[in-house]
Amino acid sequence: MDTQFKTQRSIDTKKGVKANLYIPSDEYCIMFGEEINLVDLKSSFSEQKAVKVSEFNAKVPKDLLYCHLSDVLILGDFRILVADFWNSKIKLFGGDTRHLTSLDLTGHPWNMAKITESNIAVTVPKEKRILTVKVKNGFQIDGEIKTKFECWGIAALNEHLLAITTARDGHYVIIMTTDGLFIHQIRPPDFRANGLLRPIHVATDESRTALYVTYSEGNKLVTFSVPEKEAQFSFDKDILFIYEDKGLRKPLSVDVDEEGNQYLCCYLGGCVQQISYEGLFIKRLISKKKQKMYPLSIKFHHKSRKLMVTYGWRDVIEIYEMKE
């Protein structure tokens, strides 16, 4: 492991899963604005369970293929936005899950970011484009960013800055403005040796003080703190944790609750893992391996404490409620 990760802790967690934490400090780190003593670090293991409460079918009449629902966004009025990769559409559903309208695209959309309640950004990686879209009663494309690299994952740091990931096309995390101005790129010098390959998805917490990046070929989840000057990321300075275990097997999507717990889709592992805010494994929250269902995207809704989960080549979105 590269020497820039000054401290390595291997922790045997529940069910025999080993989580490796690479922390840029010998005894302390700053996490969410607080100094954490790593010697006394303990995980607040959650006793909550994910209970399936409903599901709905996201296929619409003009779809020619099975849905491949690569991302979900939930708006403040409970309307639901869905990116359908293979059908090349963004779909809008009401809070009652009734289909309202769709936006046909020329390419395949992968991820979406909510810039404001009425403005989103959508990545179309193979076309090397990011679309900005107004969402009201329907859709209106009001801008386009052409990018040097394929852009897959996307998250809004604020109304002016975006974090994007380039997957195999450079293995970068890039900070850029919503106008398309390149600010900064993040990739450690020995990224191949460290297994930090193919960053595919990026998410922020509700306060936008942390950044979570999944590396689907390296089978890792990396947590960064967002510095006050968001553009000044440093891989060795701002990294909080690197989480990995053998059960990840192509982690794709991640989302975060208000306590900092992370919900991670392990695509080939056929499960959703719950990880504590310290970067420790809590449990396999949802397991679909026997059904041969592969979790593709996940979204945690803070107001209702519900999870929405999509699966590769499946038309259905499952809804889970977090219960004690």
- Sequence ranges of the domains in the chain: 14-25+68-300
Percentage of the chain beyond pLDDT 70 is 83
Mean pLDDT of 220-249: 80
Is pTM, for the whole model, over 0.75?
yes
pLDDT band, very low/low/confident/very high, at 28 (cuts 50, 70, 90): very low
Task: Report whether 70 contacts 86 (CB < 8 A).
Answer: no
pLDDT number for residue 188: 82
- Give 153 or 21, the one with higher predicted confidence: 153
pLDDT number for residue 323: 86
120 Cβ contact list (under 8 Å, min separation 6): 73, 81, 112, 113, 114, 132, 133, 135
267 phi and psi angles, rounded to 5 deg: -60, -60
37 Cβ contact list (under 8 Å, min separation 6): 27, 28
pLDDT band, very low/low/confident/very high, at 235 (cuts 50, 70, 90): low
Rounded Cα distance between 322 and 187, Å, is 35
CATH H superfamily, domain 14-25+68-300: TolB, C-terminal domain (2.120.10.30)
- Residue ranges of alpha helices (H) inside 86-243 are 235-238
pLDDT number for residue 4: 35
Cα 98 to chain centroid, rounded: 25
pLDDT number for residue 236: 64
3-class DSSP state of 118: coil
